[in-house]
Amino acid sequence: VTQEQLHVLEQFLAADLPVQLLSQMTTLDFEVRKDVMNVCCALLWPDLPEEVAAQVMEYVRFHPTLFNKLMDSYANEE
């Protein structure tokens, strides 16, 4: 993972985009919803580099609603 990639991830998490995007799932087009879910799932991959995984885990700890929003999005049949 390059420093530039880490910087983008830091900005993505600092902007609270995972929770914000999941909160808007019902208003997004189908293809966009798929992209949002893919990004959120990619953040939870088990083989992420340690520095990335640490940032993601810190984000998850401070956003306890993340998993509920993720599961609600999966459960939504639209």
Q: Is 3 exposed, middle or buried (0-12, 13-18, 19+ CB in 10 A)?
A: exposed
Q: How many domains, in total, are found in the chain? A: 1
Contact call for residues 36 and 22 (beta carbons, < 8 A): yes
Q: Is 47 helix (H, G, I), strand (E, B) or coil?
A: coil
Alpha-carbon distance of 22 to 8, in angstroms, equals 19
User: pLDDT category, 41, cuts 50, 70, 90?
Assistant: confident
State the residue range of the domain holding 45: 3-75
**The tokens of 18 are what?**
């995972």
Closest to 66 (Cα-Cα) out of 34, 27, 19, 33? 19
Q: pLDDT for 42-72, tens place per residue?
A: 898 888 889 899 999 999 999 988 888 888 8
The pTM for the full model equals 0.76
